[in-house]
Amino acid sequence: QVQLVESGGGLVQAGGSLRLSCAASGRTFGSYAMGWFRQTPGKEREFLAAISRLGGRTYYLDSVKGRFTISRDNAKNTVYLQMNSLKAEDTAVYYCAAGRPPPGKYYNTGANEYDYWGQGTQVTVSS
């Protein structure tokens, strides 16, 4: 079992940056691909970025590509989401998730493909 705790959210002005962290418990962090999602009221959870078990492969939603960067430090059991050039429409609750991709895949992009979720951290971007 993996427990995930996000941190780093807050209020930032448009154009600013935030770095989200997601700390994982347990000794098996390196066996999970990790993802970041976000959700706003009344909408489904939206995939943002994913990273493979060892961090060698990443994948992004087109709308955040070039602005957001996912990374991980398996020695610290932590995955990060660096968010730059933030926009008002980035306002949401951000979640990290852990999952084991099926054979032949490096990561998952669907919310239902992840097994463990954090509690979420609020990001508010003021315009």
Q: How far apart are CA 52 and CA 29, in angstroms?
A: 11
What is the pLDDT tens value at each position of the chain, 127 positions in all? 899 999 999 999 999 999 999 999 987 999 999 999 999 999 999 999 999 999 999 999 999 999 999 999 999 999 999 999 999 999 999 999 999 998 999 999 999 999 999 999 999 999 9
Q: How far apart are CA 86 and CA 92, in angstroms?
A: 12
Torsion of CA 68, 42, 109, 9, to 10 degrees: 30
Q: How far apart are CA 88 and CA 92, in angstroms?
A: 9
